[in-house]
Chains A and B, each alone.
Chain A
Amino acid sequence: MAVKIPRVYPQEQDPKVRSTNFEEVCYGFTSEEAILEASRCLDCKNPRCVQACPVNVQIPAFIRELKKGDVEAAAAVIARDSALPAICGRVCPQETQCEGSCVLGIKGEAVSIGKLERYTADTMRAMGKKVKVEVQPSNGHKVAVIGSGPAGLACAGELATRGYTVKIFEALHTAGGVLSYGIPEFRLPKEKVVVAEIQNVKDLGVEIETNVIVGRTVTIDSLMEEDGYEAVFVGSGAGLPNFMGIEGENLNGVVSANEFLTRANLMHAYQSDADTPIYVGHRVVVVGGGNVAMDAARTAKRLGADVTVVYRRTEKELPARVEEVHHAMEEGINFSFLTNPTAIHGDEKGFVTSITCVKMELGEPDEGGRRRPMVIEGSQHDIDADVVIMSLGTSPNPLIKMTTPGLETGRRGTLTATADGATTREGVFAGGDAVTGAATVILAMGAGRRAAAAIDAYIQEKNK
Chain B
Amino acid sequence: MYKISEHKLLAPCIYGMKVYAPRVARAAQPGQFVIVRVGENGERIPLTICDYDREAGTITLVVQIIGASSRKICALKDGDSFTDFVGPLGHPSEFIYESEEKLRSTSRLFVAGGVGAAPVYPQVKWLQERGIQTDVIIGGKTKDYILLASEMRKLGARVHIATDDGSEGFNGLVTGLLEKLVEEGHHFDQVIAIGPMIMMKFVALTTKKYGIPTIASLNSLMVDGTGMCGACRVTVGGQTRFTCVDGPEFDAHQVDFDGAMRRSAMYREMEKKKDCQCMEKLSQESK
Question: A198-219: which residues lie under 8 A (CB-CB) from chain B?
Answer: 210-213, 216-218
- A275 near B227: Cβ-Cβ < 8 Å: no
- A217 near B87: Cβ-Cβ < 8 Å: yes
Q: How far is the CB of B146 from chain A (nearest CB, A)?
A: 31
- A262 near B228: Cβ-Cβ < 8 Å: yes
B231 touches which one: A213, A251, A255 (CB < 8 A)? A255
Give the contact stretch, choosing among A185-193, A266-274, A435-443. Answer: A266-274
Q: Is B263 an interface residue (CB 8 A)?
A: yes
Q: How far is the CB of A254 from chain B (nearest CB, A)?
A: 9
Measured between beta carbons, the chain A residues less than 8 angstroms from B267 are 277, 279
- B23 near A243: Cβ-Cβ < 8 Å: no
Partner-B contacts on A (CB < 8 A): 171-173, 181, 210-213, 216-218, 237, 239-241, 243, 245, 249-253, 255-256, 258-259, 262-263, 266-268, 271, 273-277, 279, 349-350, 397-399
Inter-chain CA distance A275–B277, complex, in Å, is 10
Chain B residue nearest in CB terms to A242? B230
Q: How far is the CB of A396 from chain B (nearest CB, A)?
A: 10
Q: A173-B84, A217-B27, A267-B44 are in contact. Are A259 and B231 (CB under 8 A)?
A: yes
Q: Is B171 an interface residue (CB 8 A)?
A: no
Chain B residue nearest in CB terms to A243? B240
The 10 nearest A-B residue pairs measured at CB: A350-B262, A259-B229, A276-B43, A211-B86, A173-B84, A275-B43, A277-B270, A256-B230, A241-B230, A277-B267
Measured between beta carbons, the chain A residues less than 8 angstroms from B271 are 277
Give the contact stretch, choosing among B34-42, B105-113, B136-144, B154-162. Answer: B34-42
Inter-chain CA distance A276–B42, complex, in Å, is 7
- B41 near A275: Cβ-Cβ < 8 Å: yes
Q: How far is the CB of B45 from chain A (nearest CB, A)?
A: 9
Q: A250-B263, A262-B224 are in contact. List 16 more A-B contacts (CB 8 A).
A: A172-B226, A213-B226, A216-B32, A216-B89, A217-B23, A240-B245, A241-B230, A243-B233, A262-B223, A262-B229, A267-B223, A271-B41, A275-B41, A275-B42, A277-B267, A350-B263
Chain A residue nearest in CB terms to B40? A268
Measured between beta carbons, the chain B residues less than 8 angstroms from A276 are 43-44, 223
Q: How far is the CB of A267 from chain B (nearest CB, A)?
A: 6
Q: A252-B262, A267-B223 are in contact. Are A212 and B23 (CB under 8 A)?
A: yes
Q: How many A-B pairs fall under 8 Å by CB?
A: 122
- A397 near B227: Cβ-Cβ < 8 Å: yes
Of A216, A255, A259, A267, chain B has the most CB atoms within 10 Å of the CB of A216
Measured between beta carbons, the chain B residues less than 8 angstroms from A213 are 86-87, 89, 226
Measured between beta carbons, the chain A residues less than 8 angstroms from B83 are 173
Q: How far is the CB of A260 from chain B (nearest CB, A)?
A: 9
Inter-chain CA distance A275–B86, complex, in Å, is 18
Measured between beta carbons, the chain B residues less than 8 angstroms from A258 are 228-230
- A349 near B24: Cβ-Cβ < 8 Å: no
Question: B10-55: which residues lie under 8 A (CB-CB) from chain A?
Answer: 23-24, 27, 32, 37, 39, 41-44
Partner-A contacts on B (CB < 8 A): 23-24, 27, 32, 37, 39, 41-44, 68-69, 72, 83-89, 223-224, 226-231, 233-235, 240, 242, 245, 259, 262-263, 265-267, 270-271, 274
Inter-chain CA distance A239–B244, complex, in Å, is 13
Inter-chain CA distance A217–B27, complex, in Å, is 6
Measured between beta carbons, the chain B residues less than 8 angstroms from A249 are 240
Measured between beta carbons, the chain B residues less than 8 angstroms from A240 are 227-228, 230, 242, 245
Measured between beta carbons, the chain B residues less than 8 angstroms from A245 are 240
Measured between beta carbons, the chain A residues less than 8 angstroms from B265 are 252, 349-350
Q: A213-B87, A252-B266 are in contact. Are A171 and B226 (CB under 8 A)?
A: yes
Inter-chain CA distance A263–B270, complex, in Å, is 14
Q: How far is the CB of B33 from chain A (nearest CB, A)?
A: 11
A259 touches which one: B84, B88, B230 (CB < 8 A)? B230
